[in-house]
Amino acid sequence: MPSESSIPKQRLLKFAEYLSACTPEVTLYGRCVADKAERISHNACSKEFDALIKCFKKQVKRAKHSRRVMSFYKFKYGFQPPFNVLIDGTFCQAALKNQINIQEQVTKYLIEPTVLVTTKCVLKELGKILPVENSVLKFIVEKIGRDVYGAFLICKQFKIAKCPHTPVRSAAECLSHLARRSKKSENSKYIIATQDDALLEQCRKIPGIPLMSIRFKTLILESPSEESVKETDQAAEEIEKVQAMKKEILGEPEAPKKKKKKGPKRPNPLSMKKKQKTVVGALKKDNGEKKKARRKKKRIILKNL
């Protein structure tokens, strides 16, 4: 069993995040273990444990999916954190109904800093942008409905994105316009978060727009649309065509000369030890007998004679 110090801190934090998303399963498993602690047996809480593992794997799969989708938009369309998530009233209504904390869950799901934004057109569609007095609060709630009023209160907390609509338009028209402008702009790029199926279908036809919605009580980031994938493929084909035209006009560039590989280095002759001359002590005759080697006598010249 590896010690905690050997496990990277980031992996432990991710593990804790995935478990926090499986709170009901963790609670059921904990209760089962506590109830059967005295008479615990093999596979006593296997059903609860399997449910916990299934939930954990699901969270890991969702995290991988969101990371893969956003990496596509990062490299192909220049999205950079913090991501701007443009939200309408239908998304807030669904979050309120399913008890989803938008700020917390969206940031966890995208695994990057996020900024939640809306528009004045969305707020105008949900209700008047005026402080509500206690005397008229009951009337407004009864008139527009509790869900709509709750969505209005949630949207009021978000940052207001600039939209050029004067007078205001419907929320769907406003978000569709900002999505088209987001494709051309380098700075204000948006992730569209909505439950409006018609608006989602319109945005799928615009390349380079990430889409988010709430399905089965969870946040879902859609895979890149066909238009987005087609545009990136066309861009790659155009680059290949330009390179082919350059070759036709300018000719193929000369292939770089290959450098000759140097052989193994020899030792430095100055650092090598010189061979010692062997002194021949005795020479053999042809018949096998030894004979003494002659020595040269040095002549001594006397001076001043």
DSSP string for residues in 46-96 = HHHHHHHHHHHHHHHHHHHHHHHHHHHHHHHH---SSEEEEE-HHHHHHHH
Tens-digit pLDDT profile for residues 169-199:
999 999 999 999 988 887 789 999 999 999 9
Each residue's pLDDT tens digit, 196-218: 999 999 999 999 999 999 998 89
Cα distances from 137 to residues 140, 143, 144, 147, in angstroms, run: 5, 10, 11, 14
Give 215's strand partners. 218
Which residue in 101, 153, 160 sits closest to 132, CA to CA? 153
Query: Does the structure show a pLDDT above 60 at 266?
Result: yes
Contact 204, 155 (CB under 8 A): no
Please write the tens of the pLDDT for every residue from 69-79. 999 999 989 89
Structure tokens at 207: 């390349």
> CATH 3.40.50.1010 occupies which residues in the chain?
79-232
Is residue 51 within 8 A of residue 22, CB to CB? The reply is no
CATH class of 79-232: alpha beta
- Residue 276 or 129, more confident: 276
Residue 18 has pLDDT above 90, yes or no: no
Q: Give residue 1's pLDDT.
A: 43
Q: What whole-number distance in Å separates Cα of residue 82 and Cα of residue 188?
A: 11
